[in-house]
Amino acid sequence: MMKFKKQLFIAALLSSAPQALMAEESADNSLAGNIDVNALFTSGNSSQTSLGIAGKATYSSGKASHTVSAFIDFNKNSGVTDRERFGGAYNLKYDLSERLFFSFDTSAESNKFGAFRERLAVVAGAGYRLKDTATFKWTIEGAPSVLFTKNIEGADYVSEFSGFARSAMDWQITDTTKFTNVTSAYIGGRSIVEAKSAFEFEIFKSITSKFSYDILYDREAPEGRKSTDTIARVGISYGF
């Protein structure tokens, strides 16, 4: 039953993506993405080695791009579940000029052993491309946001308005090596910082090895929960 609820939860979120994501490719349209399978090494509210699966797809058409993503981290120790984190997100970017774009995000996450139990977020604002070349891309974004957080099992959702900022960098160091970093922060009603860095090394044309490290900070973590979690990942990524 729990597994069915997870699948239903993620499917409901991803179904909010426009139908354009399923359209056939043309000269002006493109579809790209990846599927990752990782071993996870965590510290903070849970400390263990576990399995993680994640996927992302981006459909671009003209001035608009649509990205959907989902992930599941799960572990059992001696038959007892000690890690259960899953979620999904949808992002829309619409170019207003060569460098300026409109950005909209909606995401949902459940984290049974983390700094919160469940969280929904809605963000809408503007972004700017500081650098956009074949080997180095760097964007920054700023926006108002609304967070709906359930701190513990059985509690009510608490809504909070915050300012949102994000920096996203993609650096193709060599033909076979890439570094990425996405750092985002909610500041205001609830202060949250998430920094995610990764190195990718191409093995074959569509297969890369991937090493990543996430820092997740929630200043308003409830009593009995730690405010900082870290996740180190080692795995394989299939790109399409």
Domain with residue 193: its CATH number is 2.40.160.40
In a domain, 214, yes or no: yes
In a domain, 147, yes or no: yes
Going by pLDDT thresholds of 50, 70 and 90, the confidence category of residue 44 is: confident
In a domain, 23, yes or no: no
What is the pLDDT, as a whole number, of residue 65?
A: 95
- What does the DSSP 8-state code read for residue 12? H
In a domain, 125, yes or no: yes
Asked whether the beta carbons of 12 and 5 are under 8 A apart, the reply is no
**Rounded mean pLDDT, 83-95:** 90
Query: Which of 91-100, 115-124, 227-236: highest mean pLDDT?
Result: 91-100
**Rounded mean pLDDT, 194-223:** 91
In a domain, 231, yes or no: yes
Whole-number Å distance between alpha carbons of 6 and 203: 32
In a domain, 109, yes or no: yes
**Rounded mean pLDDT, 31-37:** 93
What is the pLDDT, as a whole number, of residue 26?
A: 47
- What does the DSSP 8-state code read for residue 79? T
The radius of gyration of the chain's CA atoms, rounded to the nearest angstrom, is 18
Task: List the domain range (segments joined by +) for residue 88.
Answer: 2-18+29-239
Going by pLDDT thresholds of 50, 70 and 90, the confidence category of residue 113 is: low
Token pair for residue 91?
């992002």
User: Does the predicted TM-score (pTM) go above 0.95?
Assistant: no
In a domain, 151, yes or no: yes
Using the predicted structure, report yes or no on whether residue 166 has a pLDDT greater than 80. Answer: yes
Whole-number Å distance between alpha carbons of 207 and 201: 9
What is the pLDDT, as a whole number, of residue 58?
A: 96
What is the pLDDT, as a whole number, of residue 221?
A: 79
Whole-number Å distance between alpha carbons of 39 and 232: 8
Lowest mean pLDDT among 25-39, 87-101, 115-129, 130-144: 25-39
Lowest mean pLDDT among 18-22, 128-132, 140-144, 171-175: 18-22
239: left (phi over 0), alpha (psi -120 to 50) or beta: beta
In a domain, 137, yes or no: yes
213 - beta bridge partners? 197, 232
The Cα angle at residue 139 between residues 161 and 42, in degrees rounded to 5: 70
Using the predicted structure, report yes or no on whether residue 74 has a pLDDT greater than 90. Answer: no
Number of domains in the chain: 1
Look over the chain and give the mean of its residue pLDDT values, rounded to a whole number: 84
Using the predicted structure, report yes or no on whether residue 76 has a pLDDT greater than 90. Answer: no
Share of the chain above pLDDT 90, in %: 56
